[in-house]
Copies of this chain bind each other. A is one copy, B any other.
Amino acid sequence: MQIGEAVPEEIATRARESFARQGLMAHLGAEITEVRAGLVTLRLPFRPELTQQHGYFHAGGTSAIADSAGGYAGFTLFPEGSSVLTVEFKLNLLSPAQGAFLEATGRVIRHGRTLTICQLDVWGVEGARRRNVATGLQSLICLHDRPDSPAAG
């Protein structure tokens, strides 16, 4: 598969179902808006419950959706019956995270059997204005012997 191309429905469903089991994403109000091969987009609408002390989105929310976007981007390329863990990530916060919503994209830049590396980007979107508020890199590990199923949780 090429990064960014369409994925079979069962892969998209597997990613969406796993996302739906992330209690934090529901608690923050994040939705998954796009699932492509090695490329996943999430959206997080602004709420006062997501702010830091100046009223912008807190970097913790920015990080949460960036991490999940990258994790599921990798997951779309993993074999059935495996699951994904984040090994590490690094984010540069480029501008105050403002807007009606944040959009986070995880994009696989290197896919291996064990390790997969993603580029993470988060935009603050307000009407037609779209600003890159954070960029980062993430290393994921594929756990080949651990299904990502509710029973395995």
6 extra interface residue pairs, beta carbon distance < 8 Å, beyond A54-B153, A88-B88, A89-B90: A21-B53, A24-B52, A60-B63, A87-B115, A92-B110, A137-B137
Contacts A22-B53, A27-B27 given: A117-B139 contact, CB under 8 Å? no
Proximity string of chain A (109-152) to chain B, C-beta cutoff 8 Å, 1 when within and 0 when not: 11000110101000000000000100111010100000010001
Q: B64 and A58: CB pair below 8 A?
A: yes
Q: A95 and B110: CB pair below 8 A?
A: yes
| Dominant SS among interface residues on chain A | mixed
Q: A51 and B22: CB pair below 8 A?
A: yes
Interface flag for A5 (CB, 8 Å): no
Contacts A91-B88, A153-B53 given: A64-B61 contact, CB under 8 Å? yes
Q: B53 and A27: CB pair below 8 A?
A: no
Copy count, this protein chain: 4
CB neighbours (8 Å) of A47 from chain B are 23
Chain A interface residues toward B at CB < 8 A: 18-19, 21-28, 47-55, 58-61, 63-65, 67-68, 83, 85-96, 109-110, 114-115, 117, 119, 132, 135-137, 139, 141, 148, 152-153
CB neighbours (8 Å) of A64 from chain B are 58-61, 63-64
Q: B139 and A137: CB pair below 8 A?
A: no
**A141 touches which of B59, B60, B88, B114 (Cβ 8 Å):** B114
CB neighbours (8 Å) of A85 from chain B are 93, 96
Name which of A47, A49, A65, A152 has the most chain B CB atoms within 10 A of its CB: A49
